[in-house]
């Protein structure tokens, strides 16, 4: 059994074990053990990746290939590079944190954890695949449980939000499927067989006309998941209705699938198309960056604020990817990781605050720093990290993006960069506004004078997310070098044109 | 000369911060105060040792002060661009180390008395340590990005400390304002850094500042809107500096920042953080001076001069003693900027640069002293307003004397520290730009006037009846006052011209007697007017202010700058940008997506009538279809 | 083979019968009438089988067999349909087509 397939097998086994559990206690312990094993595997993977990388210079390591459906040349092909290894680690941490945050879920716990792990399976599978078709399948596996998770365990207008989210993502994946098939049917340009394997396709020159046609399809198909303006509207409603752990997982990991897919498929396989279209999508993503930040400025619901801030931050990821250079790409991947931790932490905190005060409206909250100091202090830290304070991961990622984007030779791109940089000011405004209203000031509601203390599982969940965030921010060198090295073969394809 | 130990200077406060921050609840207040003070004492001793070693032992090689750098790569951007973390030791960084550690130590000691009994005592000390760490890091930075990082960190420490009384709405607003205004300035700073990185390919100070280096020699290679891009970058970087140093028009946060505890105002908003902008310009001085013949430097000079005048005028009318001091700080920093702006580079021409650094040094001493005295007064009478004070000299002798020393120092009365540094600034201005010289001279007079207005208002003037009899502060608070008073007297005798100069070659300092006499005369005039107005309770001041009428009103409202900013942010950004965007998002973007969904439902509603479930309808359509098809085929076949 | 009557006449007759059945099937409101219409259709086709067999391929018997099949199937179908109709009548006390629409939900 190779170590990558285990990433799919372990969650499946956990799900099987969960089927036999009887109550919340057993379910959460099982889910926790499964996620812990997964985390251990992810850490192990990072170390073995470094070992293997030292001797093996190929693009993907630990590659495995099993025929799945011979007629169409579909394989279950797996392999990782530094980027997917890092994202796997991110996923496993967030899943574990999500399990801790849902420690006290009382409504259908078994089913909840099963859905959560199905989602996780999809994400893991997506990150380890190097076959377009299996990637697509795992992508769908990850999206579908969202409907159940939001529709059943959500709050507010949950059916509406779940429907909206699922429909928009499904619509996007329809577009994406066309793009993928377009790539597939052009993958025999040099006379070989049709193939879904990314590495194989990358050796083929796909005709320019096809690239130009299929790049936008593939890009938009993934970018909807990455909340590209104007396809972001599922995200605020979806996040607002989703239960805490699902918001964490969704914003923290699932939305990263968008950026990752663009990087791995759209940019890698269709570099010329990317070059051709980048100006157009740059405009959209730069609008998204600013627009999300301004959108967050006026909201009063904590989850909406965070959802809009995600639009802004992930707009940055797409923006950086479109800059088509090494530093910006590095920044995009780092931003994906950093935003994953940050936003998951935010959603966890929002969940805790909501669980105690039963409101997410910041105008009703106030002075929480006095009542629940631990959560509030972490909230301040997360807020500062989110506005790009040095010492946290956000700074590292953003600076890579800005410096990288600014290296572009054309003035248009540099101007777009300056516009995006201005988001750091607006971000500061909305973050400080929330902190000021929610945590500081007098306590304006007598009910909030005495709130429950934080529990060990909440603290564990928080620390799991906080530590990598600080680690990345204080000592980014190893991570950014690992990612940079993995980007190298990808950037070569783009630079050829 | 091993400079590795200098790394400990920032690291000690940092570990104190971690210790106090993480074990906030566990450590007893009394102990946390000691931990803070002891940690910083070690840092201070190391700083003094480093300064001694640098200036008198190994720093000078062939009459030139060398720059020592020790660094390690922190993150790689491209093959050439990377962020380094390290320490850079040269005259100004060592000088700043001394300033920061001295003031910070004094403030730590002072805070043990001032903050006694406060709920967040431990938290306060951990924030102070965080700030001190960031400031040390800023001072020792080896490249633009490192300075930017610590720049942000001091901004955040300032945010945390201004908002220290977090249950007070005004404090939160002030903290937020300070952070956002400086953040806006940092936006410019960051863009400046990006431009520098793109056009010169390096962030490193040593490479950038090398007068024979490519960064300086190739400034003319690309231009944009009539100016070299490097000049633009320098202007943007200065924008960052102006934000931090409260230069016009980015000064609005500084008066509000006085909501923080007074020791914080003394440390951050008087002596150290606010001079970071000056330090930044000084750090990049060769670039400012050589690129485009110092165009950017001229802007610095004019902005500095205008801010200095502007703030001095406002300071005259303020009634909150901390705000008077805040505007005075702004005015004095304007002075330093002015001095940098009129400075040359080589030898004696660089007197402005030297004067600026000199003034930074002396100003840190006496302005911190003024703030601490104000803190002592506020501690005693529980009010910030002049109207609640008067005749305090009888109750608080030490505060009285030390305040007087500081006021004399800032007014430029010999032999106090301010006299020496101010004189050098006036000399530099006189030789380079007469207009700026007269502005500076006028500001010197105003400074003396408002400072003694404050002094007489607090310690003399009307005999106020106090509810609680004010008493002198405890030793932990008076000791720093005495120490800083001592420094305010002797700091002027440090031979700065031999130690800190633009080209790092010392020159013989000299006294320009005619200019000095004029300056002192102006200062004394200001003091005398203040004496006439405020020594005894009389209505001279009221008559005088009514004489100025509308101008007085404008001034006491700070020229309505707060209102203008509020209008822009609240009315324009919030109401006319953010709200429409939120509405646009709901209505059009989301509306389109919803519309697609709703249209689908609508169409399906329309056509679902076909699937009625009535077998007979189906049969009808079936037969009808067959008939139509039959007709079509018959038509085709028969033709 | 019936003397004096050509295949065209018989086929015309069965066509008329068939379309009467179709018409009845589409327009009748009563389930029993619909059932009778179906019988008409089936009988029309059964006659067709026999006639075509007899007139065109007199040497084989498939058409005749098939008509017997149709009769058998029709009988079974009628039995089944009537059973359904009776059951339906018990449920909703009606054999009108429009009343059976609830079955689609």
Is residue C84 assigned to a domain? yes
Put simply, the answer to whether C34 touches B616 (Cβ < 8 Å) is yes
Calculate the CA A134 to chain-centre distance: 19
- Over residues B541-567, the mean pLDDT reads 70
pLDDT tops 90 at residue C80:
yes
DSSP states of B396-439: -HHHHHHHHHHHHHHHT-TTSHHHHHHHHHHHHHHHH-HHHHHH
Q: Stretch B244-257: mean pLDDT, rounded?
A: 85
What local confidence, expressed as pLDDT, does residue A211 receive?
Answer: 85
Sign of the dihedral defined by the CA atoms of residues A145, A393, A31, A451, in that order: negative
- Could you give the CA distance from residue B203 to residue B193 in angstroms, rounded to a whole number? 8
Residue where the block lists tokens 């007629």: A71
Residue C104 lies in a domain: no
| Position B590 pLDDT exceeds 80 | no
B153:A400 CB<8 A: no
Q: What DSSP character marks residue B195?
A: H
Rounded to 10°, the helix C7-27/B615-638 angle is 140
- Residue C2 within any structural domain of the chain: no
Six-digit token pair at A235?
């995200």
Q: What is the pLDDT of residue B541?
A: 66
* Contact assignment for B614 to C26 by CB distance below 8 Å: no
Which structural domain, as residue segments, surrounds residue B589? 563-638
Report if residue C87 sits inside a domain: yes
**Residue A258 counted as domain residue:** yes
Report the percentage of chain A scoring pLDDT > 90: 1
Residue C47: inside a domain, yes or no? yes
pLDDT above 90: residue C20 = yes
Count of the separate structural domains present in chain C: 1
Higher pLDDT, A88 or A409: A88
Same domain, B592 and B500: no
Q: What is the DSSP letter of B117?
A: T
Considering only CB atoms, B76 lies closest to which of A164, A433, A481, namely A481
Residue A1, in any domain of the structure: no
Collapsing DSSP to helix, strand or coil, A444 comes out as coil
Helix or strand (DSSP H, E) at A301 = none
- The answer to whether the CB atoms of C22 and B614 lie below 8 A apart is no
**pLDDT value at B289 more than 90:** no
Rounded CA separation A391/A393 (Å): 7
Torsion of CA A351, A354, A356, A358, to 10 degrees: -150
Peptide bond into B415 cis (omega under 30): yes
Q: Where are the alpha helices (DSSP H) in B413-558?
A: 417-432, 434-459, 475-490, 496-499, 513-534, 540-548, 550-556
C-alpha distances in Å from residue B118, one per residue of B124, B165, B172: 9, 10, 18
CB B537 within 8 A of CB B461: yes
CA distance B149 to chain A (A): 5
Using CB atoms within 10 Å of the CB of residue B518, give its burial: 0 to 12 exposed, 13 to 18 middle, 19+ buried: middle
> Is the pLDDT reported for residue B537 higher than 70?
no
DSSP state, residue A53 = H
Give yes or no for residue B496 having a pLDDT over 90.
no
Closest residue on chain B to A370 (Cα): B167
Predicted local confidence at residue A497, as pLDDT: 61
* Cβ-based neighbour number of residue B378 at 10 Å: 19
Q: Can you tell me the ipTM of this complex?
A: 0.89
Q: Residue C84 belongs to what domain range? A: 7-94
* pLDDT tens-place string over residues B119-134: 778 888 888 899 999 9
Q: At A131, give phi and psi (nearest 5°).
A: -115, 125
Alpha-carbon span A267 to A287, nearest angstrom: 21
Say if C104 is an interface residue toward chain B (CB within 8 Å): yes
User: How do B60-61 and B82-89 pair as beta strands?
Assistant: unpaired
* pLDDT of B538 above 70: no
Residue B1 pLDDT > 70? no
Q: How many CB contacts within 8 angstroms connect chain A with chain B?
A: 129
Q: Are residues B573 and B552 in the same domain?
A: no
Segment among A444-448, B242-246, B276-280 with least mean pLDDT: A444-448
| Inter-chain Cβ pairs, chain B and chain C, closer than 8 A | 21
Indicate if the pLDDT at residue A418 is higher than 90.
Answer: no
Q: Could you write out the DSSP letters of every residue in A462-474?
A: HHHHHHHHHHHHH
Q: How far apart are CA A101 and CA A94, in angstroms?
A: 10
The average pLDDT across B375-393 equals 80
Outline where A358-455 has alpha helix (H).
368-371, 373-386, 393-406, 411-421, 423-438
pTM for the predicted model, two decimal places: 0.85
Is pLDDT at A1 greater than 60 in this prediction? no
C13 to chain B nearest CA, in Å?
Answer: 19
Packed helices B121-140 and B8-22: angle between N→C axes, nearest 10 degrees: 150
Mean pLDDT (chain B) is 83
Residues 6+ apart with CB under 8 A from A320: A328, A329, A331, A332, A335, A400, A401, A404, A405
- Over residues C49-71, the mean pLDDT reads 89
SS3 labels along A65-131: EEEEEHHHCEEEEEEECHHHHHHHHHHHHHHHHHHHHCCCCCCCHHHHHHHHHHHHHHHHHHHHECE
**What average pLDDT does range A358-366 have in this prediction?**
82
Contacts of B624 in chain C (CB under 8 A): none
Instruction: Respond yes or no on whether the N-terminal peptide bond of residue A230 is cis (omega within 30° of 0).
Output: yes
| B251, two tokens | 């000064």
Rg (CA), chain C: 17
* Residue C99 included in any domain: no
The count of domains in chain A is: 1
Region of poorest pLDDT, from A404-413, B460-469, C32-41: B460-469
Q: Tokens representing A210?
A: 């096809």
Contact residues on chain A for B150, CB-CB shorter than 8 A: 390
End-to-end CA distance of chain C: 52
Distances (CA, A) of A370 to A279, A366, A373, A444, B123: 49, 9, 6, 12, 13
Query: What phi-psi label fits residue B62: left (phi over 0), alpha (psi between -120 and 50 degrees) or beta?
Result: left
Could you say which of B511, B533, B556 is where a domain stops? B556
SS3 string, B202-220, reads: CCEHHHHHCCCCHHHHCHH
Please give the tally of structural domains in chain B.
Answer: 2
Between chain A and chain C, are at least 3 CB pairs below 8 A? no
State residue B540's pLDDT score: 65
C1: pLDDT strictly greater than 80:
no
Q: Is A360 helix (H, G, I), strand (E, B) or coil?
A: coil
The mean pLDDT value of chain A amounts to 85
Whether B and A touch, i.e. at least 3 CB pairs below 8 A, reads as yes
Q: What secondary structure does DSSP assign to C54-101, as a single string? A: HHH-TT--HHHHHHHHHHHHHHHHHHHHHHHHHHHHHHHS--BSGGGG
Q: Is there a domain that residue A140 lies in?
A: yes
Say yes or no: B517 and B609 in one domain.
no
Looking at B514, B530, B556, which one is the last position of a domain? B556
Work out the average pLDDT over B82-106: 88
Q: What pLDDT does C17 receive?
A: 93
Among partner residues B167, B195, B198, which is closest to A367 by beta-carbon distance?
B167
Q: Would the CB atoms of B76 and A231 count as touching at under 8 Å?
A: no
pLDDT digits (tens, 9 = 90+) for B347-377: 778 888 888 888 888 888 888 888 888 888 8
Supply the CATH number for residue C75's domain.
1.10.287.3510
Question: Tokens 């956002």 sit at which residue?
Answer: B180
If asked whether residues B334 and B472 sit together in one domain, one would say yes
pLDDT at B234 over 80: yes
Q: In angstroms, rounded to a whole number, what is the distance separating the alpha carbons of residues A67 and A52?
A: 25
- Looking up tokens 């008409």 gives C40
Distance in angstroms (rounded) separating the CA atoms of residues C49 and C39: 15
The HSE-up count of residue C23 (CA atoms within 13 Å, CB side) is: 6
Q: Which of A449-453, B326-330, B405-409 has the lowest mean pLDDT?
A: A449-453
Beta-carbon separation of B180 and A295 below 8 A: no
pLDDT digits (tens, 9 = 90+) for A226-260: 888 788 888 888 888 888 888 888 888 888 888 88
Residue by residue, DSSP assigns B37-49 as HHHHHHHHHHHHH
Contact A400 B81 (CB under 8 A): no
Domain match, B550 and B568 both: no
Q: Note down the domain range covering A461.
A: 6-495
A343: which 2 tokens? 């936003």
Instruction: Provide the percentage of residues in chain B whose pLDDT is more than 90.
Output: 3
Residue ending a domain, choose from B487, B522, B556: B556
Could you tell me if B404 and B416 are in contact, meaning their C-beta atoms sit under 8 angstroms apart?
Answer: no
pLDDT above 80 (res B579) = no
Return the residue in B20, B76, B133 with the most chain A beta carbons within 10 A, the one to mutate for interface testing.
Answer: B76
Question: pLDDT for B443-471, tens place per residue?
Answer: 888 888 888 888 888 887 777 676 677 77
- Lookup: tokens for A355: 């669980």
Number of Cβ within 10 Å of residue B75's Cβ equals 24
Which of helix, strand or coil describes residue A5?
coil
DSSP H or E run through B64: strand B64-65
């Amino acid at each position: 059994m190779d170590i990558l397939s285990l990433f799919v097998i372990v969650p499946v086994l956990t799900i099987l074990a969960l089927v036999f559990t009887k109550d919340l206690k057993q379910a959460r312990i099982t889910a926790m053990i499964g996620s812990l094993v997964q985390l251990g595997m992810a850490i192990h993977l990072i170390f073995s990746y470094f070992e293997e990388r030292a001797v093996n210079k190929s693009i993907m390591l630990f590659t495995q290939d099993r025929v799945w459906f011979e007629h169409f040349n579909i394989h279950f092909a797996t392999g990782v590079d530094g980027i997917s290894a890092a994202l796997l680690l991110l996923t496993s941490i967030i899943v574990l944190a999500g399990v801790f945050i849902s420690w006290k879920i009382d409504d259908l716990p078994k089913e909840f954890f099963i859905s959560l792990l199905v989602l996780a399976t999809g994400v893991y599978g997506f990150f380890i695949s190097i076959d377009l078709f299996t990637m697509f399948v795992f992508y769908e596996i990850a999206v579908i449980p969202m409907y159940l998770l939001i529709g059943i365990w959500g709050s507010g207008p949950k059916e509406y939000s779940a429907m909206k989210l699922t429909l928009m993502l499904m619509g996007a994946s329809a577009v994406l499927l066309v793009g993928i098939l377009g790539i597939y049917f052009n993958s025999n340009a040099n006379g070989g067989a049709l193939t879904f394997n990314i590495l194989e396709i990358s050796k083929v020159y796909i005709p320019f006309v096809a690239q130009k046609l299929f790049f936008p399809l593939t890009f938009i198909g993934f970018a909807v998941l990455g909340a590209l303006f104007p396809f972001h509207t599922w995200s605020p409603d979806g996040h607002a209705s989703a239960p805490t752990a699902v918001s964490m997982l969704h914003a923290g990991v699932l939305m990263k699938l968008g950026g990752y897919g663009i990087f791995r498929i759209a940019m890698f396989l269709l570099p010329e198309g990317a070059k051709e279209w980048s100006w157009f999508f740059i405009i959209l993503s730069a609008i998204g960056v600013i627009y999300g930040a301004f959108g967050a400025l006026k909201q009063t619901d904590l989850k909406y604020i965070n959802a809009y801030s995600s639009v802004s931050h992930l707009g940055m990821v797409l923006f950086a990817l479109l800059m088509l250079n090494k530093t910006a790409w590095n920044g995009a991947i780092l931003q994906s990781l950093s935003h994953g931790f940050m936003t998951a932490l935010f959603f966890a905190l929002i969940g805790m605050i909501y669980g105690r005060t039963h409101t997410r409206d910041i105008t009703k909250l106030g002075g929480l720093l006095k009542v629940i100091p631990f959560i509030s202090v972490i909230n301040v830290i997360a807020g500062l990290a989110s506005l790009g304070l040095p010492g946290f991961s956000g700074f590292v990622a953003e600076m890579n993006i800005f410096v990288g984007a600014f290296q572009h030779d054309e003035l248009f791109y540099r101007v777009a960069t300056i516009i995006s940089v201005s988001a750091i000011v607006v971000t500061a405004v909305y973050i400080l506004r929330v902190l000021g209203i929610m945590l500081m000031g007098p306590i304006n509601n007598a009910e909030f004078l005495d709130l429950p203390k934080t529990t060990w599982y909440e603290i564990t969940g928080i620390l799991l997310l906080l530590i990598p965030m600080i680690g990345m921010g204080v000592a980014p060198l190893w991570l950014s070098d690992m990612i940079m090295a993995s980007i190298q073969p990808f950037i070569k394809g783009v630079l050829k044109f | 000369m091993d400079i590795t130990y200098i790394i400990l200077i920032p690291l000690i406060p940092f570990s104190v911060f971690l210790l106090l921050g993480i074990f906030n609840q566990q450590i007893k207040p009394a102990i946390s105060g000691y931990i803070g003070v002891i940690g910083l004492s070690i840092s201070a001793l190391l700083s003094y040792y480093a300064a001694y070693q640098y200036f008198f032992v190994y720093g000078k090689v062939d009459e030139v002060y060398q720059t020592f750098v020790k660094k390690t790569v922190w993150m790689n951007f491209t093959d050439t661009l990377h962020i380094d973390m390290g320490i850079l030791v040269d005259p100004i960084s060592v000088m700043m180390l001394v300033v920061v550690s001295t003031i910070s130590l004094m403030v730590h000691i002072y805070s043990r008395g001032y903050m006694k009994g406060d709920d967040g005592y431990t938290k306060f000390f951990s924030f102070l340590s965080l700030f001190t760490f960031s400031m040390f890091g800023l001072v020792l930075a080896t490249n633009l990005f490192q300075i930017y990082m610590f720049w942000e960190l001091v901004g955040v420490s300032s945010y945390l400390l201004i908002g220290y009384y977090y249950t007070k709405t005004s404090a939160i607003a002030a903290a937020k304002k300070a952070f956002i205004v400086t953040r806006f300035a940092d936006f410019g700073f960051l863009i400046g850094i990006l431009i520098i990185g793109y056009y010169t390919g390096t962030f490193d100070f040593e490479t950038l500042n090398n007068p024979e280096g490519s960064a300086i020699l190739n400034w003319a290679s690309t231009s944009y809107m009539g100016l070299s891009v490097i000049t633009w970058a320098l202007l943007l970087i200065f924008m960052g500096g102006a934000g931090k140093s409260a230069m016009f028009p980015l000064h609005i946060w500084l008066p509000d920042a006085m909501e923080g505890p007074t020791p914080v105002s003394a440390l951050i908003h008087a002596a150290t953080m606010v001079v970071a902008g000056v330090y930044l310009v000084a750090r990049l001085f060769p670039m400012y001076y050589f690129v485009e013949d110092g165009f950017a430097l001229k802007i610095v000079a004019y902005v500095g001069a205008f801010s200095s005048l502007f703030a001095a005028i406002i300071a005259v009318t303020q009634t909150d003693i901390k705000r008077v001091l805040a505007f005075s700080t702004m005015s004095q920093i304007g002075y330093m900027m002015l001095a940098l702006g009129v400075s040359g580079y080589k030898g004696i021409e660089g007197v402005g640069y030297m004067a600026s650094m000199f003034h930074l040094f002396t100003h840190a001493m006496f302005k911190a002293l003024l703030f601490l005295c104000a803190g002592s007064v506020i501690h005693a009478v529980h009010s910030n307003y002049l109207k609640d004070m008067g005749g305090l000299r009888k109750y608080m002798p030490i505060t009285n004397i030390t305040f007087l020393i500081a006021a004399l120092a800032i007014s430029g009365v010999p032999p106090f520290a301010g006299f020496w540094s101010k004189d050098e600034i006036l000399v530099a201005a006189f030789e380079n730009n007469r207009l700026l010289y007269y502005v500076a001279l006028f500001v010197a007079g105003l400074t003396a006037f408002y400072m003694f207005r404050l002094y007489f208002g607090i310690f003399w003037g009307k005999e106020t009846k106090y509810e609680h009899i004010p008493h002198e502060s405890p030793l932990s608070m008076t000791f720093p006052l005495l120490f800083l008073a001592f420094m305010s007297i002797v700091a002027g005798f440090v031979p700065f011209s031999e130690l800190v100069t633009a080209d790092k070659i010392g020159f013989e300092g000299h006294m320009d007697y005619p200019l000095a006499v004029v300056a002192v005369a102006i200062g004394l005039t200001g003091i005398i007017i203040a004496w006439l107005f405020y020594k005894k309770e009389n209505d001279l001041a009221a008559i005088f202010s009514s004489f100025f009428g509308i101008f007085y009103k404008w001034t006491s409202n700070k020229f309505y700058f707060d209102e203008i900013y509020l209008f822009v942010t609240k009315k324009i950004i919030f109401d006319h940008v953010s709200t429409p965007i939120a509405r646009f998002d709901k209505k059009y973007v989301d509306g389109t997506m919803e519309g697609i969904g709703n249209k689908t439902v609508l169409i399906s509603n329309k056509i679902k009538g076909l699937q009625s479930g009535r077998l007979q309808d189906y049969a009808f359509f079936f037969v009808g279809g067959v008939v139509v098809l039959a007709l079509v085929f018959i038509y085709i076949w028969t033709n | 083979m019936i003397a004096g009557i050509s295949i065209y006449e018989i086929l015309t007759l069965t066509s008329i019968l068939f379309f009467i059945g179709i018409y009845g099937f589409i327009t009748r409101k009563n389930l029993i009438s619909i059932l009778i219409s179906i019988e008409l259709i089936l009988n029309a086709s059964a006659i067709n089988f026999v006639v075509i067999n007899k007139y065109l391929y007199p040497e084989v018997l498939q058409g005749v067999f098939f008509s017997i099949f149709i009769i058998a199937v029709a009988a079974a179908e009628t039995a089944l349909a009537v059973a359904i109709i009776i059951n339906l009548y018990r449920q909703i006390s009606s054999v009108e087509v429009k009343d059976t629409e609830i079955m689609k939900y």
